[in-house]
Amino acid sequence: MNSISSISFLLLACILSGCASKKQDSTSQDSFIQTCERLVNHYPIPRDSLDGAAYGKMFTEDAEFILRGKIIKGRQRIVEDLVTRASKTSTRHVTGSVNVTRLSSTLGTGISYALVFSSDRKIEALPRELDERSLMAVVSYLDKFKFENGECFFSQREVVVDFLNTIKK
């Protein structure tokens, strides 16, 4: 009877430790996904306000940003490119659906959609008027993430223009 009790105890211990491991893995996966979703949803704030320091912190040191086939490599160059491109227009990104997939404990991929509105940066009065020219594009972001120390970073962010407004300003 003692050997049956011992075997039962060991079997129960193995089952419980397996369940705990799966629960812990599920919790860490949820944390990974939620942290990367927060990164994607936060992206428009530093991007649209041209806060280069905060914008740069969202990317890994060796990240790539791909826009219209142009590959910009490195965090510093990504920030410099943003400031150059965005200096003439005021832009607002409205992020929609976000889907993040965890590939490993440190890597993931994602896709999200955004509406991109723009107006001449010289117009300082708020609110700015919206017209048929204000919606600049509908874009998809194809992302690769790196997860370190509980934080998520873009290791690659590709902008795919799905619809482009061709009405002249």
- The whole-number average pLDDT for the span 71-99 is 92
From 54, 57, 27, 41, select the one nearest 146 (Cα to Cα). 57
Query: What pLDDT does 119 receive?
Result: 80
Q: Which two tokens stand for residue 149?
A: 């120390």
Sheet with 107-120, strands from edge to edge, namely: 70-73, 59-67, 151-164, 135-148, 107-120, 89-102
User: Looking at the predicted structure, is the pLDDT value of residue 4 above 90?
Assistant: no
Residue-wise pLDDT for 6-40, tens only, equals: 555 444 344 444 544 444 455 577 899 999 999 99
Query: What pLDDT does 15 receive?
Result: 45
From 107, 95, 96, select the one nearest 29 (Cα to Cα). 107
CATH number of 26-164: 3.10.450.50
- The whole-number average pLDDT for the span 50-58 is 96
More confident residue, 91 or 156: 156
Residue-wise pLDDT for 117-169, tens only, equals: 988 655 566 666 667 778 889 999 999 999 999 999 999 999 999 999 887 65
Distance from C-alpha of 155 to C-alpha of 85, rounded to nearest angstrom: 21
Query: What pLDDT does 20 receive?
Result: 43
User: Looking at the predicted structure, is the pLDDT value of residue 5 above 60?
Assistant: no
